[in-house]
Structure 1
Amino acid sequence: MTGIVVITHVDGADVGLVAQIAAERGHVLRIVRPYLGDELPGLDELDAVVVMGGPQNAYDDLPYLRTEERYLAKAVEAEVPVLAICLGSQLLARALGGSAAPGGSGLEAGMIAVRPVDGTRDEVGGEFFSFHSDSVTPPENAEILARSDRYPQAWVRGSALAVQFHPEITMDGVDALLAVEGPKLERFGVPVADLRRDAQRYFSAGAGDSRRLLNRWFDSLPSSPTSRP
């Protein structure tokens, strides 16, 4: 395999479980950082695209975000598998004709319950770590797969799966996030100690829902680049 390109938006991004499961399955990850000027590889050079979260807003006036959107649109057009996470899901929505905006239900942070829509794929349901205040209107012809009690959480269109939560994150990633955001969350009344305790419970038990979702996504990848249409 030529590998999977992973688009990140922050230094030291926690690729976490994506990297672990990729290694278990023999995939090679190529980390690309457009915010630092890295060029995105040709789509014929890779097996799949993963676009990660980050502190930016999808609607920020940043040229590299517009470049990513055009790249994601071309990837879906070419039927390259795409996994879009949090900010990545918002960029993908915009790329395909949907939109991203501040969410009407405020910050969604910590472990959340995600419920599959009736008749859709069960791997997108369960308990996952979430951290966002923006949300999306999925593009036309997208199928919404799951919701929380606040926001749409997963949708699919063509070769792309988008999730608003963080199946890739590990406890180390949660700790790194809270080291930066924790004091601000406390000022706004978010019980950070409880949030961390819930995350520790989830990850000490093996993060089963996150692993199931990611394993199903890796199962969907072509066995070789030449097997992709």
Structure 2
Amino acid sequence: MGQIRKILIILHQEQSTPGRVGFLLRQLGFELDIRRPRFGDPLPQSMREYEGVVVFGGPMSANDNDEYIREEINWLAKPLKEGKPLLGLCLGAQMLTRHLGARVYRLDNGGTEAGYYPITPLAAAHEITADACAPFPGHVYQWHSEGFDLPNGATQLAEGSTFPVQAYRYAGNAYALQFHPEVTYETINRWAMRGTERLKAPGTKPADEHIAGWHLYDSAVATWIKAFLPKWIETPA
């Protein structure tokens, strides 16, 4: 039997799951080690046992002063220093941004993105899965009220109109995505139905448009993330 290859999964809510990203990583033969630092799970002292780490989203802010938030942001030094692939999704992307010294911010008008929005892939984005014929998606699922600046040394991959920095790469194998490629139809349905209050914020889409957007845009996102993950996890630093 070959050695078990593990991916560290960091979640921030009790009921959260790694969704489509977790399913695809398992399909690639990885075992998922799921940790929830918010609920007392320790983060490993070293990434030696892991092939990479995915840091998922949550309703909290990377600017919060909670101890687990500060500790998790500081902990990101380990995969970066050890050259292990790192993928930050929404809050995870914002935590990486804070770790790299750039700003995570709210809009003065309280503007929020929740639903499907167009983004523009930049030149560097086209290299990532070009040989797999899986173009970077042009519409993605969002659910966030904060955005981030581009850290020094990072390469921007996609831009948006409300929150300009939508994706970047850092140090070859660390990626930050402001959007949610991991969501399934069930996730979107649950978030949209339960998030009624949050969908009153300026800029958000009504719940029925979330579901309609899934039917229009999810297949392109699914094709891209399925092609992206093997490249991400095998990329040497």
Shorter chain as denominator, the TM-score bin is: 0.7 to 0.9
8 Å contact 2:73–2:99 — kept in the other structure? Answer: yes
Residue of structure 2 equivalent to 1:128: 140
Mapped to 2, the partners of 1:165 and 1:113 lie a distance apart of 11
8 Å contact 1:98–1:139 — kept in the other structure? Answer: yes
Q: Secondary structure at the match of 1:44?
A: coil
Mapped to 2, the partners of 1:211 and 1:69 lie a distance apart of 30
Mapped to 1, the partners of 2:201 and 2:103 lie a distance apart of 30
8 Å contact 1:14–1:173 — kept in the other structure? Answer: no
Mapped to 2, the partners of 1:132 and 1:11 lie a distance apart of 19
Residue of structure 2 equivalent to 1:148: 160
8 Å contact 1:73–1:92 — kept in the other structure? Answer: no
State which drifts further: 33-42 or 171-180: 171-180
Structure 1 residues 128, 34: closer, same or farther in 2, change over 3 A?
Answer: same
Q: 1:92 pairs with 92, 96, 107, which one?
A: 96
Q: Secondary structure at the match of 2:75?
A: helix
Structure 2, unpaired ranges of 5+: 127-134
Deviation of residue 187 (structure 1)?
7.7
Mapped to 2, the partners of 1:104 and 1:169 lie a distance apart of 28
Aligned identity (percent) is: 29
Q: 2:213 pairs with 185, 194, 198, which one?
A: 198
Q: Secondary structure at the match of 2:24?
A: helix
Structure 1 residues 195, 125: closer, same or farther in 2, change over 3 A?
Answer: closer
Mapped pair 1:170 → 2:184 = yes
8 Å contact 1:128–1:210 — kept in the other structure? Answer: no
8 Å contact 2:6–2:32 — kept in the other structure? Answer: yes
| TM-score (norm. length: structure 1) | 0.88
Mapped pair 1:116 → 2:121 = yes
State which drifts further: 143-152 or 28-37: 143-152
Q: How many correspondences in the alignment?
A: 221
Q: Secondary structure at the match of 1:140?
A: coil
Mapped to 2, the partners of 1:184 and 1:130 lie a distance apart of 13
Residue of structure 1 equivalent to 2:63: 59
Q: Secondary structure at the match of 1:43?
A: coil
Structure 1 residues 214, 200: closer, same or farther in 2, change over 3 A?
Answer: same
String of CA shifts for 1:86-142, please: whole Å, max 9, x gaps.
00000000111112111357111111112112x212244422111111011122111
Mapped to 2, the partners of 1:93 and 1:124 lie a distance apart of 21
Residue of structure 2 equivalent to 1:220: 232
Amino acid at match of 2:207: V
Mapped to 1, the partners of 2:198 and 2:182 lie a distance apart of 24
| TM-score (norm. length: structure 2) | 0.85
Q: Secondary structure at the match of 1:83?
A: strand
Mapped to 1, the partners of 2:105 and 2:33 lie a distance apart of 30
Structure 1, unpaired ranges of 5+: none
String of CA shifts for 1:167-205, please: whole Å, max 9, x gaps.
1111111112123212442586842222332224434xx
User: Where in structure 1 do 4 or more consecutive aligned residues deviate above 6 Å?
Assistant: none
Mapped to 1, the partners of 2:14 and 2:147 lie a distance apart of 23
Q: Secondary structure at the match of 1:182?
A: coil
Mapped pair 1:157 → 2:170 = yes
Residue of structure 2 equivalent to 1:8: 11
Deviation of residue 208 (structure 1)?
2.6
Q: Secondary structure at the match of 2:97?
A: helix
